[in-house]
A and B are shown apart, each in its own frame.
Chain A
Amino acid sequence: MPNSPSPLDGPADGLAAASALRAIADRLEDAEVERAMRAGWSWSQVAEALGVTRQAVHKKHLRRLLMAQIELRRRNGE
């Protein structure tokens, strides 16, 4: 096992790619949740499409959606 592995090649490339993909996935999720809510999707529909709970989507995205001044559907109006 090398003490100072190369920052390029081998595991370094794969690990850098994993990190980059995570950032891309986060950015894509932010953008698409916003787009869905603008299009009138409910929290539950977004959650189901993402494969997570409604609470998880709410917690992660509510602040940004409010800042974007998107009209959000109430739970009983789903």
Chain B
Amino acid sequence: MNRLFTPHRGAPLLVAWGIPAGVSEQFVFEARRDGAKAIEAEHMLLALAASSDGDAAKVLHEVGLDHERLASALKEERRRTLAFVGMKELNKEVPAATELESPLSLGTSAKAAMKRAFIGARHERRRVHLRSTDLLAGILEAELGTVPRALAIAGIDIAALASRAWGFKVMRSEC
């Protein structure tokens, strides 16, 4: 379905905030693949995990979280959430609506993660220079919502992982 693989437009705001274009495009890719109308924290997390040379991916891989396992945990979170009201996914016969070719905006959970990342990075290094591990920590510091639900289902110690992300020693300049 083309809906999943339309050209990645934008997220120019992310680039302005210091997120490399390649990373922000991956956020958009994950959000569009999910059929979402905005980039949420779970899309950022999937994109960070998929990055082959990012430090955030290394931190995630240390606890066995690669893109596949994260996607599986998010799928299980979705199943559990809908099961709460006795539902399954939307009938596949419902056609997808035409996708607006406008840049996806940041959703509430993504904005909150960015804010925590900036505050944490500034606190730690007294300047704003966002690393992928800062962003990962910002995502992981959410107490409620899709990401903490999925990670709890996967049996991940989220607080320990966030702590590891904040303390990760960057060996070279990236993100």
Which chain A residue lies CB-closest to B143?
A: A4
Q: How far is the CB of B105 from chain A (nearest CB, A)?
A: 15
| 0/1 string, A53-70, CB within 8 A of B gives 1 | 000000000011101100
Binary interface encoding of chain B residues 133-160 relative to chain A, with 1 for a CB under 8 A from any of its CBs, else 0:
0000000000111101100110000000
List the A side residues contacting B100 at CB < 8 Å. Answer: 63-64, 67
A32 to B145, CA, bound (A): 28
Q: Is A16 an interface residue (CB 8 A)?
A: yes
Given contacts A8-B152, A8-B153, A16-B146, contact A27 B82 (CB under 8 A): no
Interface centre among B78, B80, B97, B100 (most CB of A within 10 A): B97
Min CB–CB distance B149 → chain A (angstroms): 5
The majority secondary structure among interface residues of chain B is: loop
Interface positions, chain B 108-166, Cβ under 8 Å from A, are: 143-146, 148-149, 152-153
Interface flags, B62-104, vs A, CB<8A=1, else 0? 0000000000000001101110110100100011111011000
Question: Taking each of B77, B80, B84, B85, which has the highest tally of chain A beta carbons within 10 Å of its own beta carbon?
Answer: B84
Instruction: Assess whether B95 is in contact with A5, with CB atoms less than 8 Å apart.
Output: no
The verdict on A30 contacting chain B, using a C-beta distance below 8 Å, is yes
CB of B144 within 8 A of CB of A24, answer: no
Within the complex, the shortest CB–CB distance from A39 to chain B, in Å, comes to 12
Q: Which residues of A contact B36 (CB under 8 A)?
A: 23
Is A73 among interface residues, defined by CB-CB distance under 8 A? no
Q: Is A52 interfacial (CB-CB < 8 Å)?
A: no
> Are A28 and B152 interface neighbours, CB within 8 A?
no
Q: Are B95 and A31 in contact (CB under 8 A)?
A: yes
A13 touching B98 in the complex, CB below 8 Å, given contacts A4-B143, A5-B144, A7-B152 = no
Report A's interface with B, CB cutoff 8 A.
Answer: 4-8, 12-17, 20-21, 23-24, 26-28, 30-35, 63-65, 67-68
Binding site for A on B (CB under 8 A): 35-37, 77-78, 80-82, 84-85, 87, 90, 94-98, 100-101, 143-146, 148-149, 152-153
Which 9 residue pairs spanning A and B have beta carbons closest together?
A30-B97, A68-B98, A7-B148, A17-B84, A16-B81, A31-B97, A13-B84, A7-B149, A17-B85
Given contacts A7-B149, A67-B100, 13 further A-B contacts (CB under 8 A): A4-B143, A6-B152, A7-B152, A8-B149, A12-B144, A13-B84, A15-B144, A16-B77, A17-B84, A27-B97, A28-B90, A34-B95, A64-B97
